[in-house]
Amino acid sequence: MLGGNTRGKVLGSMSSPKTLLRVESLVKHFPVGGLFGPGDHVRAVDGVSLSLLRGQTLALVGESGSGKTTLGRCIVRLIEPTSGRVSFDGVDILALRGTDMRALRRRMQIVFQDPAGSLNPRMTVGTAVREPLEVHRIARGKDAHARVNKLFREVGLDPSLTTRYPHELSGGQKQRVGIARALSIQPEFIVLDEPVSALDVSVQAQVINLLVDLQKARDLTYLFIAHDLAVVRHIADRIAVMYLGKIVETADVIPLYDRPLHPYTVSLLSAVPVPDPRAQRKRVPLRGEVPSSRHPPPGCPFHTRCPHTRKDERCSTEVPKLQEVEPGRWAACHYAETPMTLGRGA
């Protein structure tokens, strides 16, 4: 039903729980400036390692500038990483060239936040879904037509809409087209980059439910990139929290929301508005703003805003490693073993 229970989902599928995607020490630095002097770098992704089991949903959460979108794009090689390794089903994808990479691309897809911006305004939405089938030589002619109609029905769209142009559809319908297009070549893995952020709440829930249903029906693996922690709780099995290009905490969804270990996760969760006037929680306010990723602070990148009472010298000098604090729970904080508590007010 909901994406909360990893074990049930993995055992329920045909394949054994195994790693589909493994990212090791991934780095992406963008050069900036340098026109009149020595250049500088934005450290968008700064040494990220993660793995994702087949059939699971890993949510990558963080605020703007945390590097989550860049990481997602590096993983499907829409952007070339500066260094690191990405292996997909055991294959080192950064080493692949030409036809090999193209063959692998069929197995991974991406869905973007802005459904209007990712569809060609002069192409009917039916053609948009049909195009990948022809590019990858999966189907053509009548066969392709039949497949497109089937895909439309699968994502909850009437096949009569195939002849429409993007501007004739609502935001929710366009995002369904984006999903149908991604599904057309039967990928195993989909990067969903803020797929519901641009949608109205009544429509957002429809699309979240659709993604959950499709995952079950097709045994899909998702990397779900989002800033909305309430949305993520409804779809993810596992969460990785990013701050300034690094993962600061990763855990299964239930323990992470119930008892976050990293002070950034504690503050982030406490800042999420709750749609219930009686359940207003005590916030753990964060002072200041996210520092620039051109000049991240020394030591722990979060120490300039950290509300943890145990913060000390060490935090501003020594970079905390992402380490396993409890089985399956990793945090990059010197004091992760004595976490802050999430206060709950009246």
Partner 1 sequence: MTALLRVRNLSTSFATESGLARAVDDVSFDLEQGETLGLVGESGCGKTVTALSILRLIAEPPGQYGEESRIEYEGVNLLELSARDLREIRGAQIAMIFQEPMSSLNPVLTVGSQIVEAIRAHGSESRREATERAVELLTLVGIPEPGRQINDYPHQMSGGMQQRVMIAMALSCRPKILIADEPTTALDVTIQAQILDLLMDLKVRFGMSVLFITHDLGVLAGIADRVAVMYGGKIVEEGEVHAIFERPAHPYTQGLLRAVPHIDRPTAQLRGIPGAVPTATEWPSGCRFHPRCSQRIDRCSTETPPDITTETEHIARCWVATPAGKS
* Interacting residue ranges for partner 1, rule: CB under 8 A: 1-2, 4, 63-64, 170-173, 200-209, 227-231, 233-234, 253-254, 257, 267-280, 283, 285-286, 288-290
User: Nearer Cβ to partner 1, position 68 or 147?
Assistant: 68
CA–CA dist 217, 89 (Å, integer)? 20
Cβ neighbours of residue 230 under 8 Å, at least 6 residues apart?
A: 272
User: Nearer Cβ to partner 1, position 109 or 173?
Assistant: 173
Residues written for the chain? 346
Least spacing, CB of residue 341 vs partner 1, in Å: 16
With the CA atoms of 273, 276, 282 and 285 taken in that order, what torsion angle do they form, in degrees rounded to the nearest 10? 10
Least spacing, CB of residue 330 vs partner 1, in Å: 21
Least spacing, CB of residue 315 vs partner 1, in Å: 19
User: Nearer Cβ to partner 1, position 141 or 288?
Assistant: 288
What is the number of other CB atoms lying within 10 angstroms of the CB of residue 213? 13
CA–CA dist 65, 14 (Å, integer)? 38
Least spacing, CB of residue 267 vs partner 1, in Å: 6
CA–CA dist 223, 78 (Å, integer)? 15
Least spacing, CB of residue 31 vs partner 1, in Å: 21
User: Nearer Cβ to partner 1, position 26 or 214?
Assistant: 214
Least spacing, CB of residue 222 vs partner 1, in Å: 16
Closest by CA position to 107, among listed 191, 193, 225, 13: 191
Least spacing, CB of residue 22 vs partner 1, in Å: 28
Amino acid identity, position 225: I
User: Nearer Cβ to partner 1, position 82 or 197?
Assistant: 197
Integer-rounded Cα radius of gyration of the chain: 21
Closest by CA position to 108, among listed 134, 136, 76: 76
Sheet holding 221-226, edge to edge: 108-111, 189-193, 221-226, 57-61, 238-243, 246-252, 329-331, 323-326
CA–CA dist 25, 47 (Å, integer)? 4
Least spacing, CB of residue 185 vs partner 1, in Å: 27
User: Nearer Cβ to partner 1, position 144 or 229?
Assistant: 229
User: Nearer Cβ to partner 1, position 88 or 257?
Assistant: 257
CA–CA dist 18, 30 (Å, integer)? 33
User: Nearer Cβ to partner 1, position 2 or 78?
Assistant: 2
Closest by CA position to 225, among listed 26, 104, 211, 213: 211
